């Protein structure tokens, strides 16, 4: 071969090598990037060419699929009782992607998850249509219905947990929306309307909104007092004079009314909800000890996944003594999601052990084989069994003889704590009404609940945790107990 031909052959060989490198780079290295590119319409067409798998509650699907006559997509998502279940499912839209369980489990629901490779292969060999898998939740349909109905036209949220496992039993948020209305190609107007709604119906208030917890936080302060040895008996008198000024100030911390709070015991202070007692406890313990206890309950943890991630509940780590006192009664910069406060109640009801909250029990293949099974996991131990039982005793007094009487249930022991949290500059807005509770039967505590009512039609003076939130919690607890019978 002469020299010019040899050069041409080498050049052509280099071109072929470059082509092979490029093809392999595209097919293997860039495969996922190209597959997930928002401009790759073929992926979206394939995604909606088969019915989507379902999200399951109590053995029944709360989702579905229907055929469409427009565009390239054959199927779109449908929802049963969409507004009630939206805080759990989220939405799956042909245009706006998906969120919450729909997004986090998209691979299982579309059938594209690598763990379903065997099922896809069998379907391809047998000529069957590809199918999506199922997401089996921990939710209790009766409890969810009670929560959603109880909130009604009020703005607020409910979270209910099984204290013994961490399984989420109810997760309601109002106002809500129907995900079916934004599932199709031509639902842009409905989607924009939801985004522009001042009441934020697409906001999952149970997980994604942190509120000042008000007096419900006093159970955390009570736990800190016992755990750090400030007091060892919930019936012993505390060192809490009346009136009492915030440390290093001449500003008195006031109670709501003429309450018997002077040197009140922890039990009595929880029963009538004394600001002075728990503000003084927080001040006496100091910031570091209060932070330690709050964080054991889950505060300041930005990674609480259910698997939908909740926003962080906050307890300030940079406070002076007056601010620590205010934080210890659920004010200053203290904020909590309903899920977080349900976790607080669940830990107390579970004799001090906090289980990690979750709402997906199983992921199933189309043939119902279990792909993934959740195992309950202990998250922390905020307080000892002895101290947890003492606080249970005090919370049960709140329901029997105090501000939480609206949650009483015949034949069932109920513990609770009310809260009415200040809101707005100078407390100018309507306060938030809170209620925490758990129910106890001979078999243990099957449910712990947190309810917050953010807004209502009630007069400002009639807004209270015991009046607005406690009846909702009661209905949710009754639903769980009746479901277990």
In a domain, 199, yes or no: no
Mean pLDDT of 345-355: 98
SS3 181: helix
CA 227 to chain centre: 27
Name the residue range of residue 278's domain.
207-360+376-484
Check residue 250 and report its DSSP letter: S
In a domain, 59, yes or no: no
- Residue 114 CB neighbours (<10 A): 7
Q: What is the pLDDT of residue 461?
A: 37
Q: pLDDT band at 462, cuts 50/70/90?
A: very low
Q: How many domains would you assign to the chain?
A: 1
Q: Give percent of the chain above pLDDT 70.
A: 91
Per-residue pLDDT reduced to its tens digit, 470-485: 999 999 999 999 987 6
Per-residue pLDDT reduced to its tens digit, 147-178: 999 999 999 999 999 999 999 999 999 999 99
In a domain, 128, yes or no: no
Measured CA distances, 146 to 14, 343, 398, 399 (Å): 71, 20, 23, 20
Mean pLDDT of 383-404: 96
Check residue 50 and report its DSSP letter: S
Q: Angle, to 10 degrees, between the axis of helix 141-151 and the axis of helix 82-89?
A: 110
- Is 328 one of the annotated active-site residues of the chain? no
In a domain, 12, yes or no: no
Q: What is the pTM of this model?
A: 0.89
CATH label of the domain that carries residue 311: 3.40.710.10
Catalytic residue among 215, 328, 335, 445: 215
Name residues whose C-beta falls within 8 Å of residue 101's C-beta, 6 or more positions apart in sequence.
Answer: 55, 88, 89, 90, 135, 137, 307, 308, 359, 360
Mean pLDDT of 277-284: 97
**Mean pLDDT in the chain?**
90
In a domain, 477, yes or no: yes
**pLDDT exceeds cutoff 90 at 117:** no
Q: What is the pLDDT of residue 372?
A: 95
Q: What is the pLDDT of residue 38?
A: 62
**pLDDT exceeds cutoff 70 at 33:** no
In a domain, 148, yes or no: no
In a domain, 238, yes or no: yes
Name residues whose C-beta falls within 8 Å of residue 89's C-beta, 6 or more positions apart in sequence.
Answer: 55, 62, 63, 79, 100, 101, 102, 179
In a domain, 327, yes or no: yes
SS3 110: helix
**pLDDT exceeds cutoff 60 at 463:** no
């Amino acid at each position: 071969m002469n020299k010019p031909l040899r050069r041409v052959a080498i050049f052509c060989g280099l071109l072929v090598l470059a082509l092979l490198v490029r093809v392999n780079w595209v097919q293997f290295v860039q495969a996922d990037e190209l597959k997930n590119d928002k401009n790759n319409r073929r992926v979206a067409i394939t995604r909606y060419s088969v019915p989507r798998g379902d999200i399951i509650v109590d053995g029944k699907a709360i989702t579905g699929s229907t055929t469409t006559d427009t565009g390239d997509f054959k199927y779109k998502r449908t929802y049963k009782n969409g507004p009630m279940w939206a805080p759990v499912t989220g939405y799956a839209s042909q245009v706006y992607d998906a969120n919450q369980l729909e997004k986090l489990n998209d691979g299982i629901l579309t059938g594209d998850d690598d763990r379903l490779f065997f099922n896809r292969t069998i379907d391809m060999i047998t000529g069957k249509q590809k199918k999506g898998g199922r997401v089996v939740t921990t939710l209790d349909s009766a409890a969810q219905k009670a929560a959603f109905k109880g909130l009604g036209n009020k703005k607020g949220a409910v979270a209910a947990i099984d204290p013994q496992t961490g399984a989420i039993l109810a997760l309601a948020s109002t106002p809500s929306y129907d995900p079916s209305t934004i599932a199709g190609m031509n639902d842009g107007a409905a989607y924009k309307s939801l985004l522009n709604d001042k009441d934020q119906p697409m906001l999952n208030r149970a997980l994604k909104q942190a509120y000042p917890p008000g007096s419900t936080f006093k159970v955390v302060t009570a736990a800190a007092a016992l755990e750090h040895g400030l007091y060892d008996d919930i019936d012993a008198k505390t060192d809490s004079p009346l009136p009492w000024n915030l440390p290093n100030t001449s500003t008195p911390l006031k109670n709501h009314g003429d309450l018997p709070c002077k040197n009140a015991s922890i039990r009595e202070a929880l029963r009538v909800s004394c600001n002075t007692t728990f503000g003084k406890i927080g001040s006496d313990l100091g910031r570091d000890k209060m932070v330690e206890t709050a964080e054991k309950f889950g505060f300041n943890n930005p990674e609480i996944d259910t698997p939908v991630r909740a926003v962080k509940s906050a307890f300030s780590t940079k406070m002076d003594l007056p601010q620590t006192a205010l934080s210890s009664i659920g004010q200053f910069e203290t904020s909590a999601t309903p899920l977080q406060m349900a976790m607080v109640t669940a830990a107390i009801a579970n004799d001090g052990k906090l289980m990690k909250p979750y709402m997906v029990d199983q992921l199933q293949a189309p043939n119902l084989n279990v792909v993934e099974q959740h195992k309950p996991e202990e998250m922390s131990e905020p307080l000892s069994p002895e101290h947890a039982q003492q606080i249970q005793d005090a919370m049960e007094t709140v329901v029997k003889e105090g501000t939480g009487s609206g949650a009483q249930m015949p034949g069932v022991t109920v513990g609770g704590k009310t809260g009415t949290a200040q809101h707005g500059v100078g407390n100018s807005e309507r306060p938030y009404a809170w209620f925490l509770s758990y129910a106890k039967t001979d078999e243990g505590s099957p449910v712990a609940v947190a309810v917050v009512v953010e807004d209502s039609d009630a007069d400002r003076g009639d807004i209270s945790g015991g009046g607005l939130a406690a009846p909702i919690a009661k209905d949710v607890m009754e639903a769980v107990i009746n479901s277990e019978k």
